[in-house]
Chains A and B, each alone.
Chain A
Amino acid sequence: MTVTIKATGQKPVRAQVTRKRGLGTMRGLPFVLPYLPFLVAFGILPVAYAFYLAVTTDTGGWAGFDNFTRTVRDYRFLPALEHILLYTGMWLGSLIVIVVGLALLLHGRANRVTSTFRFLFYIPGALAGASSVLVWLFMLDPSVSPGSFLLRNVLGSHLFVESIAPGKLPFVFAMIAFWTGAGGWIVVMYGALNTIPHDLEEAARVDGAGPITIALRLKLPLIRKWIAYMAILAFATGTQLFVEPQLVNQASLGQVPDTWSSNQLAYQLAFRYGDFNGAAAVSVDLIAVALIAAVVVVKRTGLFRIED
């Protein structure tokens, strides 16, 4: 061993260091072991079990695609799909245009005002889950809302039930999701903008580019990976909508169906009808969407590294 090092210099030294760092050994495995049962039990097994239930009957026999075709033909399936696609489209559009726009505006100049705005935008993120929906039920009630003027004139609603009329729901849910989620994304986009080298901006300015040209022709293309990441993630999340319509259903005296979104339909199939195989089939549809989105993000955007 010593002979080799003397004879060839640099290379074997590196090899030795590599070995010391344990590459190719089992050294790190004990640290990972306690995590593995959780990964298997709540990451992999639920998916596998849902697939199993989706292709079997309630007695455990092979069902092929029966559960899938049966649930797709359910009269609630297509309306739910239409709802979440409309909602996701609106949410996605608002995220891409407004979040990126606000991040660019904030990045225009770095000062204390900017960090205050970022903080203000981020605050509603603390009210995810049921809390944000409750806040917005108040905001949508013209009798108490500080925005009653907007409700009457823009949304055209004079009563709470008019604010949650079926045609307005995709917009209302998109607004709630935007309210809670946009601030976090603005922080991320702002962080991405900060990675753009200063020299590049300076060079563009020297060449006579104004702030708008710099924002649209220089900064925007440089953060497109992050915009794609946000869009894919928002699309996946949007399709899984559950909390918002579930709570609005409770506050609407049945005006809003409890199967408004696909995830709600899966839930109702399991809980109200005990149809676990049908519920699993709808779940598998949703898993497929989320899985494809996740794999695209991991494999294509290059934002998540896995070193060898």
Chain B
Amino acid sequence: MVLVSRGFRLLILTAFAAFFIVPIVWLVLAPTKSDEALVTNGPFAFGSLGNVALAWDHLDAFSNHIYRAWIGNSLLYALGATAIVLVTGVPAGYGLALSTFPGRRLVLTLTLIVMIMPAATLVLPIFLELDALHLIGSVLSVILPFSFFPFGVYLAYIYYSTAIPRDLLDAARIDGCGEWSTFRYVALPLAKPVVALVFFFSFVADWNNFFLPYAVLADSEQYPIQVGLSNLLSSTPSFNPATGGGGQQVGIFRPELALATLLAVIPVAIVFLLSQRALVRGLVAGAVKN
């Protein structure tokens, strides 16, 4: 009986694991095959590395190396905005956690509410605002909204109000540290785990954001990779028979599209691996909050 229930449990978990993982395995294998072999060979057959190189040549040639520009843009937007998030958000969490000033409660409440609101809610309002300010089409129209990341402030706030003993900071002050030195030499070095967490969540949120850059950028040279992928999709004949002739000219078929998608995930995977330890601890810690 115990054995049966244990087997049943494992069966359900394995079935769901397959649901989550099979598409990714397929995606990794797809660029090794030609567009034709994708249809005729088994979905998990391995083609050849030569096909990957060929797919990359086609992808790289697309619209004058624009794929590289998209990846570069995404790095610029995500890293630039995340740098601003760290510089403004971590001190803000510290200030909110360890002192009171008039309006503190209001700032915290507003931060929480915007944090919980889905990101897509504010995209059109931000577009309308930036349009009124004539900032549409500029790189800043992506980086500045990305630089507002209330979740990062909240993470720093929770960390400083629970994990850092106040006596430690008081000790630094008694030893003659000013407010800034106390933060710089005591509070900030202690916050490494939370800095890693904020970096991860902010970078991934920016990297994967489609809607905001889609709304505020018009020039395809400025697109980040997510918007670029939608551009590639429109040029793939199997999903867009209208571009059938165009597909031959630009050389973007399913293996190229799969490779483009796969490469676009790699930076997120790298950041994930770099911050994994802090992440796992942080996700569990975030779940407790008591």
A: residues with CB less than 8 A from B are 17, 20-32, 34-36, 38-39, 41-47, 49-50, 53, 98, 102, 105-106, 108, 113, 117, 120-121, 123-124, 126-131, 134-139, 141, 143-148, 160, 179, 182-183, 187-188, 190-192, 194-195, 211, 226, 233, 236-237, 240-243, 246-247, 250-251, 253, 263, 266-267, 270-271, 276, 279-280, 283, 286-287, 290-291, 293-295, 297-298, 303-308
Query: Do B150 and A39 touch (CB < 8 A)?
Result: yes
| Given A28-B99, A127-B261, 14 further pairs, Cβ under 8 A | A17-B170, A36-B107, A46-B122, A50-B128, A124-B24, A126-B268, A135-B27, A137-B239, A233-B118, A250-B239, A253-B242, A290-B118, A304-B112, A304-B154
Query: Do B98 and A263 touch (CB < 8 A)?
Result: no
Which residue on A lies nearest to B264, using beta carbons? A131
Query: Do B288 and A21 touch (CB < 8 A)?
Result: no
Our pick among A102, A242, A303 for the contact of B16 (Cβ within 8 Å) is A102
Query: Do A192 and B44 touch (CB < 8 A)?
Result: no
The residues of A that contact B170 with a CB separation of less than 8 Å are: 17, 20-21
Interface size on B, residues (CB 8 A): 107
Our pick among A38, A120, A194, A297 for the contact of B287 (Cβ within 8 Å) is A194
Chain A interface helix/strand/loop/mixed: helix
Q: Does B196 contact A (CB under 8 A)?
A: no
Complexed CA–CA distance, A130 and B250 (Å): 21
Query: Do A25 and B101 touch (CB < 8 A)?
Result: yes
Query: Do A22 and B261 touch (CB < 8 A)?
Result: no
Q: Does B12 contact A (CB under 8 A)?
A: yes
Are A32 and B126 CB-contacts (below 8 A) given A124-B23, A293-B116, A305-B289? Answer: no
Q: Does B148 contact A (CB under 8 A)?
A: yes
Query: Do A191 and B284 touch (CB < 8 A)?
Result: yes
Our pick among A130, A139, A240 for the contact of B230 (Cβ within 8 Å) is A130
Query: Do A250 and B107 touch (CB < 8 A)?
Result: no
The residues of B that contact A24 with a CB separation of less than 8 Å are: 100
Our pick among B16, B99, B147 for the contact of A23 (Cβ within 8 Å) is B99
Q: Does B49 contact A (CB under 8 A)?
A: no
Query: Do A43 and B99 touch (CB < 8 A)?
Result: no
Complexed CA–CA distance, A306 and B54 (Å): 56
Report the minimum CB–CB distance from B140 to chain A (whole Å).
Answer: 11
